[in-house]
Amino acid sequence: MNKLKVNTGNLEASSGLLKTKQHFVILDGLRGVAALAVVIFHFMEWVHPPDSGKIFIGHGFLAVDFFFCLSGFVIGYAYDDRIGKMGFMEFFKARLIRLHPLVILGSVLGLLAFLFDPFAAYTGAYGTGKLILVFLCSALLIPYPVMEERAFNLFGLNAPSWSLFWEYVANIVYALILYRLSRRYLTVLTVLAAVTLCFVSYRAGNLLGGWSGENFWDGGARIFYSFSAGLLIYRSNWIIKNRLGFIGLAILLSLAFVMPYFKWNWVAETMVVLFYFPLLVALGAGSSLSPGLKKLCVFSGNISYPLYMTHYAVIWMFGNYFTSSKPGANELFLIVSIGTVLLVGVAYVVMVAYDIPVRRYLSSKWRQR
């Protein structure tokens, strides 16, 4: 395996338990591409149902499966040789510092959007006590699918948090079980996860589930396979040397999100998740990057998580505007285009003014202890 190094994407290395590792810079860039796909998909699914075949990015939700696969690869590389010394609690503290500040901020933004949405006046139907409970469950990542007007999302105030819930589950399972498994047993587990994923996709007709109460366990199947596959890629040294570069791989990744719906859609989605995304991770880890694109990839990777966790408050407001006003195609194009650019800008501000300072503060407190 080419011993390129990967940054864990956080400040947990400053604790002294982890040594700083370099980026797989192209994978960082691809993470940003996937985050943009999620944002555009969330805008467009208000215009047409995802399975209608009318959305040009109708498979943008599969970006979450790419995130899961990438997470398995990165966690394996960052922690396989360290977690034995760290121990479970130190590992989980590191992950909390990395992930949870934006979980909380996303919940706060979601609450503010719910209370002050200019296109849907708050009626007070939930009452102060219940609304506080909804917020606390969102901030603490406790699934609470009670908001009917928000399609019974597991986290009504910030819908994308469903994937963070499963990310935490995967991290816990990794720290307790997966890091101890040999490659042979991990392979068996990944095959079993693949069978489970096929069953879920066949039963539902797609891999869109995981975000609501009625399809809760579909999310478990999605991360069960993709996280295991990413971990297996790292442990098997499946890094494929190539010259596709960031642009080539970004185009290949985007093709998965814009592929059309057809009769055997569940098969196509399953094949993408089972084989195509792991292949792209292996290619991204082994590809070369031109110096001119390095800053773009670093920026793309840095804003990907803030963008993913802060955009949905705006999406709810857009949905209420679209439902009440029914804007035309030209207006929609402007709203989605300008909205996406502004959300990227907001994500950058959030990263610089909130996420990095908070994680730095928490890391320093951790070191002191």
What 3 state SS string does 21-47 have?
CCCCHHHHHHHHHHHHHHHHHHHHCCC
Please, what is the average pLDDT of the chain? 92
Residues 6+ apart with CB under 8 A from 220: 166, 169, 210
For the full predicted model, state whether its pTM sits above 0.85.
yes
Other C-beta atoms lying within 10 Å of the C-beta of residue 52: 11
Residue appearing with tokens 């879920």: 200
DSSP structural state of residue 6:
-
Instruction: Please give the residue that has the higher pLDDT: either 25 or 16.
Output: 25
Bridge partner residues of 242 (DSSP): 287
pLDDT at 210: 97
Comparing 26-30, 51-55, 112-116, which segment has the lowest mean pLDDT? 51-55
Give percent above pLDDT 70 in the chain. Answer: 94
Residue range 136-153: mean pLDDT, rounded: 95
Indicate if the pLDDT at residue 319 is higher than 70: yes
Collapsing DSSP to helix, strand or coil, 287 comes out as strand
User: What is the mean predicted confidence (pLDDT) over 18-34?
Assistant: 81
Distance CA 78, CA 70 (A): 12
Give pLDDT, residue 121. Answer: 79
Percent of the chain with pLDDT over 90: 84
pLDDT of residue 21: 61
Per-residue pLDDT at 20 exceeds 80:
no
- Judged against a pLDDT cut of 70, whether residue 14 lies above it is answered with no
- Quickly tell me which residue has 């101890």 as its tokens: 180
Say what the pLDDT of residue 10 is.
38
Model pLDDT, residue 8 = 39
- Grouping H, G, I as helix, E, B as strand and the rest as coil, residue 48 is coil
Query: For 308-323, what is the mean pLDDT?
Result: 96
pLDDT tens digits, one per residue of 159-214: 999 999 999 999 999 999 999 999 999 999 999 999 999 999 999 999 999 999 99
Residue 265 has pLDDT above 70, yes or no: yes
Distance CA 105, CA 339 (A): 19
Are the CB atoms for 72 and 226 separated by under 8 Å? yes
Whether 19 shows a pLDDT value over 50: the answer reads no
Of residues 178 and 127, the one with the higher pLDDT is 178
Mean pLDDT of 253-277: 95
On the question of pLDDT at 64 being above 80, the answer is yes
Contacts of 192 (CB under 8 A, 6+ apart): none
Spell out the residues 6+ positions from residue 205 whose beta carbon is closer than 8 angstroms to its own.
51, 265, 266
DSSP 242: B
